[in-house]
Structure 1
Amino acid sequence: MNFRISFLLFALALAGCSSAPTQPSQSQQPIVNQTDDALTEARFSQNLNDLLGQVSQTQEIPLPALEMGFLDAKTVPSIRKLVLPPSGTFKKNWLVYRKRFIEPVRLKAGKAFWDQNQAFLSQVEQESGVPAEIIVAIIGIETIYGRQTGNFRVKDVLSTLAFSYPDTPNKPAREQLFKDQLKELILMCWTEAGGKLPSQNSSQGVNGARFSACLNQNSSYAGAIGLPQFMPSSIRSFAVDGDGDGRIDLKQSPKDAIASVANFMKKHGWQPGMPISFPVQANAISEAKLLADGEPQLKYTVQELIEKGILTKQQGDLQTGGVEPQSKAFIVDLPYPDKDGSDQVQYFVGLNNFLTIVQYNRSYFYAQSVAEFAEALGYRNQSVVPVETSNKINRPTATTEKSKSKKSSPKKKAKTS
């Protein structure tokens, strides 16, 4: 059915159950339809219409409702440019990346955010095992605690990348990824508006204005939403109602964002009390270089890396703490050009918790930045020493040390290097 015909028919029927006025699509930065040509626009509309038809059929959502929600959807050429890979002359620069995120403004904002949510962060840490410093670091790096959540309508972003992704070698895979996210967005918004999906027993009628507002909410240029920048599939799978108001709001509720980040990390294998990463010993750089293959997979045991001189027994209580000698790890390589333009690399050993952060954002730069941001907030990057072991060696446990520091953590002087 044609978008506009079905819209007119469905609008009359839906008007009676929509109590809220439709919100402006994007007040901060209006988006203008700048499609390349009429053929591109026609192809975009047809592909989107086909997807809506599939979703309507498989999820039992009225097609006119979907068509009305996407009536003004458009491609955004600037998004296509933003997802292009860097040029062949571009050099990754870990030092520049780190400086962008581990800097005074974010650290100050992080301590303020911690201070404002200290009780809830402590509660979530106790329940999930994910340190408050890690949660605060992730939200700070993602959006500076809600200051930078994106200025694109999420439905335009996902539609553009699903049906008009730039010509790159991985175009088919990327388009499929964003088609899947577009479907997840529709299901998320339909449920949020009170719609009924086959797996639900809700008897509420759909709120058309709420459905439209959800589709039109702001996102990043990749379709990530809210303080923690969750994609629609992650919102549906891992977001939780932290403040207990009966709904999940990652844009306005810090408690929902905090609880959702912790739940994501827990569900992706965060190991409570375990370290994240350790720098490779200076005299073993060449050995580490041989093992660095860029694959985020736990391959080598801690014992093997100690024997190769890449780690030492003293790092992070590897022998007296909770990290077993057979625990798995991998080599993390962080390249950067020196002042002369020559290629240099900083190497780390990533443990399981480093890999968990990589699941949040598939970037070694990102994961190590989270680790170092957390350390700047007071995170102790070492294993928690078991009680029976601490009694033998007669020294306080890392848990005790952390408990003492947690009470004053918002007032700590942050490390900046």
Structure 2
Amino acid sequence: MKLSLPLFPKLFLLTLTILLGACSTPAPEVSDSVDAGNSDSISQAALSQNLQLLISQVSQSQDIPLAFIESGFSDTKTIPSIRKLVLPPSGTFKKNWAVYRQRFVEPIRLKAGKVFWDQNEAYLSQIEQDSGVPAEVIVAIIGIETIYGRQTGNFRVKDVLSTLAFNYPDTPNKTVREQLFKDEVKSLILLCWTQAGGKLPANQSTLGVSPALFNNCVNQNSSYAGAIGLPQFMPSSIRAYAVDGDSDGQIDLRQSPRDAIASVANFLKKQGWHPGMPIYFAIPESAFAQASLLADGEPQLKYSVQTFINQGILTPEQGDLQAGGVSPQSKALIVDLPYIDKDGTDKVRYVVGLNNFLTIVQYNRSYFYAQSVAEFAEALGYKNQSVIAANLPALPSAKQSANSKKKKVPHKKATKASAN
């Protein structure tokens, strides 16, 4: 899950979304010899000194034997190319929704998504029923992140996190960035300690703790931002949201599709996913001018759906649950998707983002990313509308609702659609 404002998926705004990885935009080819383009020197000695201090802090705070942690980090090295990969785009860069969508909502990923669904159909249906998160959305996220495990990164996670914790390139928020990655190094140590069989606090005991499992964990591959596995979770996110979906006693986001599926669903559920509700509403081009007045780029649900209906941005049906819409009192925002037309003209497409759109934004702080997930899911058969219309023949009036208990709306069963 990810990190960006302006809304471009990577490490330009590190907030809650640092919890999740950074592979949904492929990294450019950069050799390890490339310098980050600034005067900072990358000192292996300085890294070792700073890392030693951080390891000592974790050892003291959690009472983990210092020598045990040191054994797993003794060969940690800086990766110069990582520093270039996390830099924001140049000042001449223009966001282009058309190019972004073409990269991620495309035949190879969609066909791979259908195969992934076929292989995990029963479990996806179970997780959808348990969490309320549609199977299509889960499949879309994993497909966009890593093409179902094909692109999970090839950097050792301890090297990535240590490099960015102590040698982040010169940016306006360098200090903030480094602190966030220091926290991720700490999370990695604690994650690997517990996965190796350790308890917290450790009470200076290594009884039952496997050094081999600890070393395997800190040496596993990650993206260039330190994200791990099929769904690209950061270490702190694994600790907070990852789930043992296959019930084998271990959480393995690299090799276990069930763990990945359950973890994505758990994250979205905990971020406030509304079961049975749509993700976004399309806006007619005739309403783009009005929508542009309310588009501020801030990922906040500032307006009611009724406000957009009153201004002609949405139709009355989109504020009607029985018609597949949402409650007119539901909160929403205007999502701007800038692109460059075929003739080179700068243009913007607008949609209305709903609560579930913003929930996806928590996975990757990018409007482009969230809209791609929604449209990928639609290509897999997701019906972007309220399921109340499909499950209830009629809803009571507001007056009746006030005098009766609200019915629980069953969530729809996952069904596949051709990705061709």
Confirm or deny a common fold (TM above 0.5): yes
Which of 159, 179, 189 aligns to 2:192? It is 189
Q: Secondary structure at the match of 1:331?
A: strand
Cα contact 2:295–2:335 (8 A) shared by 1: yes
Which position in structure 2 is the counterpart of 1:86? Answer: 89
Which position in structure 1 is the counterpart of 2:143? Answer: 140
Gaps of 5+ in 2: 1-30, 397-408
Distance 1:192 1:355 in 2: 32
Which position in structure 2 is the counterpart of 1:335? Answer: 338
* 2:127 paired with 1:116: no
Spell out the pairing of 1:23-42 with structure 2 (5 A cutoff).
40-42=43-45
1:218 partner amino acid: N
Q: Secondary structure at the match of 1:329?
A: strand
Q: Please give the per-residue CA displacement for 1:335-382, whole angstroms capped at 9, x wherever unaligned.
A: 112233332111110000000000111111000000000000000000
Q: For the structure 1 residues 200 and 305, does the alpha-carbon distance in structure 2 shift closer, same or farther, using more than 3 Å as the test?
A: farther
Q: Secondary structure at the match of 2:316?
A: coil
Distance 1:137 1:316 in 2: 26
2:419 partner amino acid: A
Which of 225, 228, 235 aligns to 1:225? It is 228
Cα contact 1:153–1:217 (8 A) shared by 2: yes
Larger mean CA deviation between 282-291 and 86-95 belongs to 282-291
Q: Secondary structure at the match of 2:352?
A: strand
Q: Secondary structure at the match of 1:105?
A: helix
Gaps of 5+ in 1: 1-30, 394-398
Which position in structure 2 is the counterpart of 1:368? Answer: 371
* 2:224 paired with 1:215: no
Q: For the structure 1 residues 166 and 366, does the alpha-carbon distance in structure 2 shift closer, same or farther, using more than 3 Å as the test?
A: same
Distance 2:63 2:391 in 1: 58
Cα contact 1:240–1:260 (8 A) shared by 2: yes
* 2:246 paired with 1:246: no
Which position in structure 2 is the counterpart of 1:300? Answer: 303
Which position in structure 2 is the counterpart of 1:269? Answer: 272
Q: Secondary structure at the match of 2:293?
A: helix
Which of 42, 50, 53 aligns to 1:50? It is 53
Distance 2:202 2:266 in 1: 23
Q: Secondary structure at the match of 2:347?
A: strand
Larger mean CA deviation between 36-45 and 121-130 belongs to 36-45
Q: For the structure 1 residues 388 and 268, does the alpha-carbon distance in structure 2 shift closer, same or farther, using more than 3 Å as the test?
A: closer
Which position in structure 2 is the counterpart of 1:15? Answer: none
Distance 1:357 1:133 in 2: 13
Distance 2:391 2:134 in 1: 23
Which position in structure 1 is the counterpart of 2:294? Answer: 291
Which position in structure 1 is the counterpart of 2:419? Answer: 414
Which position in structure 2 is the counterpart of 1:23? Answer: none
Spell out the pairing of 1:67-86 with structure 2 (5 A cutoff).
67-86=70-89
Cα contact 1:33–1:74 (8 A) shared by 2: no
Q: Please give the per-residue CA displacement for 1:68-88, whole angstroms capped at 9, x wherever unaligned.
A: 211110110111110011111
Cα contact 1:95–1:336 (8 A) shared by 2: yes
Cα contact 1:380–1:402 (8 A) shared by 2: no
Which position in structure 1 is the counterpart of 2:11? Answer: none
Which position in structure 2 is the counterpart of 1:280? Answer: 283
Q: Please give the per-residue CA displacement for 1:214-270, whole angstroms capped at 9, x wherever unaligned.
A: 000000000000011011111001101111111111111111111111111101100
2:166 partner amino acid: F
Which position in structure 2 is the counterpart of 1:16? Answer: none
Cα contact 1:35–1:76 (8 A) shared by 2: no
TM-score, scaled to structure 2: 0.84
1:413 partner amino acid: S
Cα contact 1:313–1:319 (8 A) shared by 2: no
Distance 1:281 1:392 in 2: 28
Q: For the structure 1 residues 160 and 368, does the alpha-carbon distance in structure 2 shift closer, same or farther, using more than 3 Å as the test?
A: same
Cα contact 1:35–1:75 (8 A) shared by 2: no
Q: For the structure 1 residues 287 and 199, does the alpha-carbon distance in structure 2 shift closer, same or farther, using more than 3 Å as the test?
A: farther
Q: For the structure 1 residues 338 and 388, does the alpha-carbon distance in structure 2 shift closer, same or farther, using more than 3 Å as the test?
A: closer
Distance 2:302 2:226 in 1: 33
Aligned residues: 376
Aligned CA-pair RMSD:
2.6
Larger mean CA deviation between 284-293 and 190-199 belongs to 190-199
TM-score, scaled to structure 1: 0.84
2:227 partner amino acid: A
Q: For the structure 1 residues 92 and 34, does the alpha-carbon distance in structure 2 shift closer, same or farther, using more than 3 Å as the test?
A: closer
Q: Please give the per-residue CA displacement for 1:103-146, whole angstroms capped at 9, x wherever unaligned.
A: 11111000000001000100110011000000000001011111
Cα contact 1:317–1:382 (8 A) shared by 2: no
Q: Secondary structure at the match of 1:390?
A: coil
